[in-house]
A and B are shown apart, each in its own frame.
Chain A
Amino acid sequence: MKSGTPVTEDNDQRGGPTRGSTRLWRKGTLIGLHSQSQHSRTLDLKVPGWPGHRPGQHIDVRLTAPDGYSAQRSYSLAAPVDGNSVSITVDLVPSGEVSPYLYAVMEICDELDIRGPIGGWFVWEPGEPEIGDGPVMLIAGGSGVVPLVTMLRAWRQTGDQTPVILAYSLRGPDDLMYGRELNELRAVGVDIRLIYTRTVPDAHRRVAGRLGLDDIAIPATGQRAERVYVCGPAGFVDHATALLCAAGYPDAAIRTERFGPSGAD
């Protein structure tokens, strides 16, 4: 027998959505654009029939040229569920094929195909019993901040009390995504740590350098986070998980999502 029996409906639901609905390609129409940093922007898409999603999940985006050529890439969902609109935040990879189109060419009313939501592992919804009173630690490298901000938005929307730490590693101030929103989140109690690896803005106390043990330490109590989510380029994720391991985190507490690069690594 060549192929196994199909995954049951029950199993599929652990991933959130029901079968059938996730595999469909649906038409997405661009309805909103927001600049997010000097080289990233958020795209809001209207997707009729969208089945809903959980913070941390991603979609596949498919672009098709008039000659039939098409290209697909994955993008994290950049906002909690909201009817039939979904958002993604795309960071420009200048030599890339898909991100330059999404970053610079696509205009309001243009269309593309999307499918999803995909992934049910790299998900945090406030109230998960396993996490209890937390804390939860989110560790982002570059555009890896996107699904983590979606989790923080859901945390804020539900008025959740779980203590949250966001450690966000970026090269310099020009790379900061969601700057204003991060300030607001800090004001409502999120422990936000910006880790500038090359260029540090004035008045920032930490010196330039890559993510270190201090950046993932939990002050006062010295306890560890109940759950850690790490997202970013593959090399960054490996570096962060090695630090977590050195800090004594058990594997079961760590969830990771690696963004490309789809080419060299």
Chain B
Amino acid sequence: MTISRGFSRRAETPAVDLPPGQHLTTGFPVLTAGATQSVSTEKWRFTVTAETGQALQWTWPQMMDLPAETIDVDIHCVTQWSKLDTSWRGVSLDTFFTDVETGFDYVMVHSYGGYSTNLPLVDLLDGKAWIAYEYDGAPLSAEHGGPARLLVPHLYFWKSAKWVTGITMQQFDEPGFWEGFGYHNYGDPWREERYAGD
């Protein structure tokens, strides 16, 4: 580590425990690789596709009939902001996966607009991930991924795909959009897994 002459701490050290290299924000920055997608709830579909060819699909009203949860979590973006105590409402991935028959360990998440991101299946189950459609008591706005986005708060936020439309089971892990551009394959903020090889 190189000491930079004349540089000293300027920001106050937050009293909270943040992952390394992160700083707090009170706003809600928007980061997207392309344009904001506009997807109506009428058009919206969410599909889980397994290796058997089995594809389970939910329309918006069907998702609304599923049991919803309020999720209060901290979120961490690879561009170094963290936001504490964000409040969401959505449906647990455990609910969507109840009837999915799969022996595969990996998933590829797909979004309207072509974005994708990869995860191990275990990172979506056991109360670790949701399809979220409300933020702070209001419908999720398009710029934050509305009408619905994936929410996987224990990983960097690029894994929480906006405008989510489907999950495909995969036998082998393959990089999604940012992972193919040199970002870390897994993305654990507490281990500072920002880029490939971290």
Contact = CB atoms under 8 A, between A and B. Distances in A.
A262 B23 CA distance: 8
B4 A74 contact: no
Contacts of B23: 262
A214 interface: no
Interface residues of A, number: 64
Given A3-B185, A4-B106, A251 B34 contact: yes
A225 to B, nearest CB: 14
B43 interface: no
A23 B196 contact: yes
B22 to A, nearest CB: 10
Given A14-B180, A120-B182, A242 B3 contact: no
Given A22-B196, A97-B10, A263-B26, A251 B113 contact: yes
A23 B11 contact: no
Nearest to A258: B31
Contacts of A70: 1
A107 B83 CA distance: 34
Contact of B181 (A105, A120, A251, A256): A120
B35 A234 contact: no
A119 interface: yes
A76 B114 CA distance: 25
A120 B105 CA distance: 28
Given A262-B79, A264-B26, A256 B34 contact: yes
B122 A118 contact: no
B134 interface: no
Nearest to A96: B10
A261 B81 CA distance: 10
Interface in A221-265: 234, 238, 241-242, 244-245, 249, 251-252, 254-256, 258, 260-265
Interface in B1-47: 1-11, 21, 23, 25-37
Given A27-B2, A64-B3, A113-B1, A6 B25 contact: no
Given A5-B172, A12-B182, A110-B6, A241 B120 contact: no
Given A7-B175, A118-B195, A262-B29, A105 B2 contact: no
Interface of A: 1-7, 11-12, 14-17, 19-20, 22-23, 25, 27, 62-67, 69-74, 97, 100-101, 105-107, 110-113, 118-121, 234, 238, 241-242, 244-245, 249, 251-252, 254-256, 258, 260-265
* 8 closest residue pairs by CB, A with B: A15-B182, A265-B27, A264-B27, A4-B173, A241-B35, A23-B197, A97-B10, A120-B181
